[in-house]
Structure 1
Amino acid sequence: MIALSLAEIAEVVGGQTHDIPDPSVQVTGPVVRDSREVEPGSLFVAFAGEHVDGHDFANAVVEAGAVALLASRPVGVPAIVVDDVQSALGALARHVVRRLGATLVALTGSAGKTSTKDLIAQVLARKAPTVFTPGSLNNEIGLPLTALSATAETRFLVLEMGARGIGHIRYLADLTPPQIGLVLNVGTAHIGEFGGREQIAQAKGELVEALPSVEEGGVAVLNADDPLVRAMASRTKAKVILFGESGEADVRAENVRLTDSGQPAFSLHTPSGCSEVTMRLYGEHHVSNALAAAAVAHELGMSADEIATALSEAGSLSRWRMEVTERPDGVTIVNDAYNANPESMRAALRALAAMGKGRRTWAVLGKMAELGDEALAEHDAVGRLAVRLNVGKLVAVGGREASWLQLGAYNEGSWGEESVHVSDAQAAVDLLRSELRPGDVVLVKASRSVGLESVAQALVEAGTEGEVAAR
């Protein structure tokens, strides 16, 4: 964070100082909520959660070097006490962002947010110091903490914004007002909470409504291939830039193809020129993510060649998102278990099919959460798609939703051997350990709550331990 005194922070957040001998002492380290992340000069944000109360760590964090706590009650050590810690954290982030002088890029969408954010960050880092959301910390706590990690040297701040209802993105955009707003897509993630795709579009479009006008430098980057996103152009005063494979897109891809290993390649066309891209990531769905990143980079002054080079060299920065491990015995594990929705599930299955040409493929899938009344139809459709893509075997893991996945595959298949339903992650591991052969490709994917990353990790470890014998 940019250096601020405790007195300044107290004024910004409307708090009272307690047990602070010298209010002129500055916070020079990071603002953190996890006591394990405290460094000398830190400000520790004490949230009182359902299971853990940050106030209980007051003495420990000060001993570890924290200058003070942002707290809801006095704790006997230096603290700035406020009525609402979350609101105070947001107010501090808003103040720091206004003082930074950095260009703030915000993005949202139903699928691909984290992968696209990682691409944007890697591309922009070629141009100037860049700070970006770690992982998927895209809510009312993670977003301000990310913003507060920027320093005086930061020139680009890339923030992922998530939403579980109308008004959420409006709130986040008020905390950290963006100059560039990117909307990737409107899908069915969290449709059970929103009530329909139109409501999701309404929520995602709050980002472009928050942008400054064309005259003030605002830019809305919209997906030309998604009608609900493209329609958001009417909801903003900002300049509109379209990306996609549509011929009307300002930044577009032509000659899209996959390499033999399933990595996308394409010709990148921007208003400033054209260049060739071959990505290190896996799956054709990353083309759209790359175009979104390219559109942002173009608006910030990067050439087509610079963008193409950066995209071609960019890797995955976040765990369990199409994380590919080649085992010594020739088995490939694709760990995409961080989260799942119908769009990302379909994209992952298509990537598996591309990666597995001439090889035996396995899809180890679990439930997709928060789909409401659409849950049965969506799980059934994913199971059917696995068969249509000629996935060798679907292993559906878990309860009711997994049974729907398996049933969809069974009904789509011709003899029922395309799928199997197992009770839990350990049963999936046991099955695969006994049946995997060198050269097989295994995709592991489900909503985060299922915890299928344990399956991927166990299979990776089994390969290093030599537990799978060649057959």
Structure 2
Amino acid sequence: MIPLPLAELLTVVRGEPHDIPQPPPRITGPVVIDSRLAEPGALFAALPGERVDGHDYAAGAVAAGAALVLASRPVGVPAVVVEDVTDALGALARHTVARLVEGGGAIVVGLTGSVGKTSAKDLTAQLLDRAGPTVWTPGNFNNEIGLPLTALRAEPDTRHLVLEMGARGTGHIRYLTSLTPPRIGVVLNVGTAHLGEFGSVEGIAAAKGELVEALPAAADGGVAVLNADDPRVRAMADRTAARVLLFGTAPDAAVRAEDVRLTPEGRPSFRLTTPTGCAEVTMRLYGEHHVSNGLAAAAVAHEAGMSAADIADALAAAGSLARWRMEVTERPDGVTIVNDAYNANPESMRAALRALAAMGETAAAKGGRTWAVLGEMAELGARSRAEHDEVGRFVARLHVNRLVSVGGQEAAWLDSGAKNEGSWGEESVHVSDAQAAVTLLRGELRPGDVVLVKASRSVGLERVALQLAQEGAEAPGVDGEVAAP
């Protein structure tokens, strides 16, 4: 965090000092909401939660070295008391970003989309980090608490802030952009994630478009980076005063991929074209869907002044920084486990399954088979049955060798969809829970097999992948693609 004296903090958050020692403390460390992460100079934000109240841990945070507590009531230790701690965090983030932009010319990038936000954000951050100190959203901390905490990690020399922005309803992204106003806004796609909450795909598109509406005008440096291959995203060009930069495979995309193909291992390879030139790229990530994520990152890097050759080199070196997203483990016995169990919706399911099918070509050459171990896709509302049925059918159409659907009614719909599409028998099996899936796979897997594990986060299906991967595997990930936990 940028060092902050008490007087400035009080002004920014409109707070009242309580139990302040002399001389008054100065914030020089991070802003944390977990007292266990407190360190000398930190600011501990005491947030009320569903199960615990952060105010109860204020004394422990100060004992661990926190300089101050941001609280909604006196807590018996040095504190700044505000009306609402979450609002105060937002005000502090807004103040920090303004200092970075006005004082140092930092570039703030906002990124949203129905699928691939975290992967595209991680790629963008890794590219921009080559051009200057970069701070980005850890994991998917993309809401009204996570986004300010990310912005407050910035240091005086930070040149780029890459901020993932999620939405659970209309107005959410508009609010997030008010906390950390972006100069560059990236919209990846509009899909059916959270369809049950928004009610329609059109409602999702309206919410995602709030990002480009918040951008500065083109004359003031605003840039809307839009997916030329998604009609709903392309149409957002009419909703912004910013300059529009298209990415994708469409011929009119300024940043585009040509001659897209997959390596035998399932890694995307393509010719990257930007306004400054062309270069060949082979990514370390798995699946053709990462081409679009890579192009979005490339478009932002282009705006930051990187050449096509430098972008291609950075893309080829970039990996996943998040766990359980196409996390590949090759076991000593020749079985490959693909842990993509962090989350799922219909679009990301299809993307992961296409990657599995591509990896299946190599598996078949080794006498192996492809396995899709799938669970529920949550928050689909009235479309849930149809979407699960269609994903099951998609598994059969891709000629994946085996489907194991895990869980309740939604998993049963996956199973029935596959059987109705492919007239399958033993190729598709429905089991009740994760442990049943592990037991089945332990008895069936053989060298050369590739196993994809994917479901919504609430299902906890990563337990299947972790148990299978740990059986004889030395460590998760391949070629350093997976960040440490």
TM-score by length of 2: 0.95
The equivalent residue for 1:428 is 437
Task: Structure 2 unaligned segments of length 5 or more: list them.
Answer: 475-485
Q: Indicate the residue corresponding to 1:468 in structure 2.
A: none
User: What per-residue deviation string (whole Å, max 9, x for no partner) do you get for residues 49-104 of structure 1?
Assistant: 11011111111111111001111111000111111111111001000100013110
1:254 match? 258
Letter in 2 for 1:389: L
Secondary structure at 1:463 match in 2 = coil
Superposition pairs of residues 18-417 of structure 1, within 5 angstroms: 18-22=18-22, 24-101=24-101, 102-357=106-361, 358=364, 359-417=368-426
Report the CA distance between 1:22 and its aligned residue: 3.5
Indicate the SS of the match to 2:333: coil
Question: Separation in 2 of the partners of 1:22 and 1:452?
Answer: 52
Q: 1:16 to 1:25 in 2, by over 3 A?
A: same
Indicate if the aligned counterparts of 1:6 and 1:23 stay in contact, CA closer than 8 A: no
Contact 1:7 1:23 in 2 (8 A): no
Aligned residues: 465
Mapped partners of 1:388, 1:246: distance in 2: 26
How far apart in 2 are the matches of 1:213 and 1:29? Answer: 35
Q: C-alpha displacement at 1:444, in angstroms?
A: 0.5
Cα deviation 1:97-154 (Å, max 9, x = unaligned): 0001311001000000000000000001111000000000000000000000000011
Structure-to-structure mapping, 1:452-471, within 5 angstroms = 452-464=461-473
Contact 2:335 2:447 in 1 (8 A): yes
CA distance in 1, matches of 2:46, 2:454: 34
Residue identity matched to 2:327 = E
Could you tell me how far 1:25 is from its partner in structure 2?
Answer: 2.1
Moved more, 207-216 or 413-422: 413-422
Partner of 2:481: none
For 1:189 and 1:416, the matched residues in 2 are separated by 31
| Cα offsets for 1:233-254 (capped at 9, x unmatched) | 0000100000000001010000
Residue by residue over 1:34-59, the C-alpha shift from the partner in whole angstroms, topping out at 9 and shown as x without a partner, is 11211111000111111011111111
State whether residues 410 and 417 of structure 1, in contact with CA within 8 Å, keep that contact through their aligned partners in structure 2: no
Deviating 4+ runs (over 4 angstroms): none
What displacement does 1:413 show? 1.6
CA–CA separation in structure 2 for the residues paired with 1:51 and 1:400: 30
Deviation, structure 1 residue 418: 2.1
Per-residue CA distance 1:416-436 (angstroms, 9 max, x = gap): 222110000110111111111
Amino acid at match of 2:59: N
* Contact kept? 2:110, 2:162, Cα under 8 Å: yes
**Aligned residue identity for 1:65:** G
Structure 1 residue 415, shift from structure 2 partner: 3.5
How far is 1:462 from its partner? 1.8
Distance change in 2, residues 1:464/1:225 (3 Å): closer
Q: In the alignment, residue 463 of structure 1 is paired with which amino acid?
A: G
Paired amino acid for 1:86: T
Among all aligned residue pairs of Structure 1 and Structure 2, give the percentage whose two residues are the same amino acid: 73
Per-residue CA distance 1:146-205 (angstroms, 9 max, x = gap): 000000011000000000100000000000000000000000000110010111000000
Matched to 1:413, the amino acid is: G
* TM-score for the superposition, normalised by structure 1: 0.98
Who is 1:6 aligned against?
Answer: 6
The 3-state SS of whatever aligns with 1:138 is coil
| Partner AA of 1:368 in structure 2 | M
Note the C-alpha offset of 1:414.
2.3
CA shift for structure 1 position 452: 0.6
Unpaired runs of 5+ residues, structure 1, are 466-471
Q: Which amino acid aligns with 2:375?
A: G
Residue-by-residue CA offset, 1:312-346 (whole Å, 9 max, x unaligned): 00011000000001111111000000000000000
String of CA shifts for 1:274-315, please: whole Å, max 9, x gaps: 000000000000000000001111111100000000000001
Q: Give 1:24 shift.
A: 4.0
Provide the rounded CA distance (Å) in 2 between the counterparts of 1:57 and 1:142. 20
The aligned amino acid for 2:471 is A
CA distance in 2, matches of 1:79, 1:399: 48
CA distance in 2, matches of 1:423, 1:415: 19
Determine the C-alpha separation between the residues in 2 that align with 1:277 and 1:387: 31
